Amino acid sequence: MMNEKDTFYITTALFYSNSYLHVGHAHEIVAADAMARYKRLRGFDVKFLTGMDEHGQKIEQAAQAAGRTPQEHVDYVAESVRELMRNLGADYDIFWRTTDPAHIAAVRKIFNRLYEQGDIYKGAYRGLYCTPCETFYTPRQLAAGRCPVCEREVCEIDEEAYFFKIGKYGQRLIEHIEQNPEFIMPKSRANEMLNNFLRPGLEDLCVSRTSFKWGVPVDFDPGHVVYVWVDALSNYAIGLGFMSDDDTLYKKYWPADVHIVGKDIVRFHTIIWPAILMALGQPLPKQVFGHGWVNIDGKKIGKSLGNAVDPNNPVATYGADAIRYFLLKEIVFGQDGNFSIEALVNRINSDLANDLGNLLSRTVGMVDKYFGGELPAEQAATDFDEDLRAVAARVAKSSEEHYDRMEFDQALAEIWTLIRRANKYIDQVEPWKLVKEEGKRDALAGSLYNLVEVLRIAAILIEPIMPGIPARIYEQLNIQGGEWSKAHNFGLAPKEIKVTKGNALFPRIDNK
Ligand SMILES: [Zn+2]
């Protein structure tokens, strides 16, 4: 029997149907997409799931305010998210929506099973509730009497509700987190979960609501709708067919290799979701990666601050590849970072136009000028080849290690040491002098071939982050791309390179 390919299952968090899209969403999308593309290049059998969290009181209210039915409203928002994904070049496999009838059916089954086995019971909820955040709080969780998340006023609530006995799984969760240091990334967030939530003990979790209708009705008690925890979090499994008639994908791809989520929902993904999975007897995701916030011009993004740049706009102006590069180079994945048009333009001009774009145009230009566009097979070495090749070999390996750990900024930094090394190689070799020297024609051809090879290797290495660029490089050099492993071999392109002059990869942008 043939070996089946290793699988890799990656998800973003679901996009909440009531939030406006901002650069922070773009950051999460491009990170997940870059990782999915990287694994595909490595030869993994990848599933990349993203989608929409479409139920809840806030959405019901937003739909009403917009003069739409809730379904019309979530359809409209889902289309805008798909549009952003398209514009960013996100190549997802599954776009899952919690209003999908298949989702609703599976959520009801999960809720029933947890109820039947005694993990969910009916009780009464008395306490404090933040409507916009749809979250219950104990008095000590409040910040100056207000919601600790959105700082709005909370209201007192007294209603019948179903509760999940999450505390049953607290000790197992603690052990799991302690024994699996890669389960919560960045690692600093693990202590926060252990010390702030798990070790003090988990209170039973309210998993139904009666205060609104827009949700999945509880099968056996239709006045209740299933609350977000069971409804939305379970999408990661249901999206693969868990609890459906056909769970082939679930059996093949679960558990998830990584859930990529914002740092504010790490808690839900590392405590509530794993506890639900434990109750259902299912394996836990291998990793939950909490990314940071993207600030705009140094300020937190806020609807009221009016600084929420629609990410579609810079994509339309500067292109998806430049935006993807910027978001993953400028912002350390896992930490907060900053977005500004000024910094973006600087990156485009220096890293993309000057370093990468120039390397290609210089290489193509010299093959054209010195050899009429076609390198001869007769090639010789120069004194500077060995170091260039050594840097290429090192960078292919180190960038791979950084991709594996989702250290995209460091992967790019490594790749750019190779690109800059190649530009320096041109200055060392001085092809404009070689062309005038007797008997140096072979060395001149060999040096230009080495530049082609650096471009070929760099194109493979940047493909996960800038998927639109490699084909344009290959086209001008008339060479083939290929899978990741080909970045580890220097000298794979045929010697007789026939170039075709093309447009600049990244035209310089006037700073004014
Ligand atoms: Zn709130």
Q: Which residues surround ligand 1, an ion (CB under 5 A)?
A: 130, 132-133, 147, 149-150
Q: What are phi and psi of 240, to 5 degrees?
A: -100, 0
Mean pLDDT over each residue of the chain, to the nearest integer: 94
Q: How far apart are CA 215 and CA 224, in angstroms?
A: 9
Ligand 1 centroid to Cα of residue 58, in Å, is: 11
Q: How far apart are CA 16 and CA 53, in angstroms?
A: 5
pLDDT tens digits for range 206-220: 999 988 899 999 999
Q: Are 11 and 49 in contact (CB under 8 A)?
A: yes
Dihedral over Cα of 266, 413, 397, 49: its sign:
positive
Ligand 1 centroid to Cα of residue 134, in Å, is: 7
Q: Global pTM? A: 0.94
Distance, C-alpha 165 to centroid of its chain? 32
Ligand 1 centroid to Cα of residue 225, in Å, is: 20
For the record, the structure tokens of 432 come out as 């404009």
Ligand 1 centroid to Cα of residue 274, in Å, is: 24
For the record, the structure tokens of 407 come out as 């250290």
Ligand 1 centroid to Cα of residue 439, in Å, is: 76
For residue 429, pLDDT beyond 90? yes
For the record, the structure tokens of 118 come out as 């005694």
For residue 289, pLDDT beyond 50? yes
304: pLDDT confidence band, cut at 50, 70 and 90? low
Ligand 1 centroid to Cα of residue 142, in Å, is: 10
pLDDT, residue 510, reads 87
130: pLDDT confidence band, cut at 50, 70 and 90? confident
Q: Span 47-60, mean pLDDT? A: 94
pLDDT tens digits for range 308-325: 778 999 999 999 999 999
Mean pLDDT lowest among 124-128, 340-344, 394-398? 124-128
Ligand 1 centroid to Cα of residue 197, in Å, is: 19
pLDDT tens digits for range 254-266: 999 999 999 999 9
Ligand 1 centroid to Cα of residue 417, in Å, is: 45
Ligand 1 centroid to Cα of residue 284, in Å, is: 29
Percentage of residues of the chain with pLDDT beyond 70:
98
DSSP helix, strand, coil percent of the chain (3-state; round to 5): 50, 15, 35
Q: How far apart are CA 335 and CA 323, in angstroms?
A: 18
Q: Among candidates 276, 274, 208, 238, which has minimal Cα distance to 102?
A: 238
Q: Among candidates 351, 359, 358, which has minimal Cα distance to 450?
A: 359
Where does 254-380 have alpha helices with state H? 266-267, 273-279, 312-318, 320-330, 341-347, 358-371
Contacts of 298 (CB under 8 A, 6+ apart): 338, 340
Ligand 1 centroid to Cα of residue 200, in Å, is: 23
Q: How far apart are CA 362 and CA 134, in angstroms?
A: 57
For the record, the structure tokens of 101 come out as 């009838």
Q: Looking only at Cα atoms, what is the longest distance across the chain?
A: 93
Q: Is 124 helix (H, G, I), strand (E, B) or coil?
A: strand
Ligand 1 centroid to Cα of residue 150, in Å, is: 4
SS3 for 81-117, per residue?
HHHHHHHHCCCCCEEEECCCHHHHHHHHHHHHHHHHC
Ligand 1 centroid to Cα of residue 19, in Å, is: 14
Q: Span 169-185, mean pLDDT? A: 97
Domains of the chain: 345-488 (1.10.730.10)
Residue 418 is classified by DSSP as: H
Q: Span 278-301, mean pLDDT? A: 94
Ligand 1 centroid to Cα of residue 364, in Å, is: 57
For residue 1, pLDDT beyond 60? no
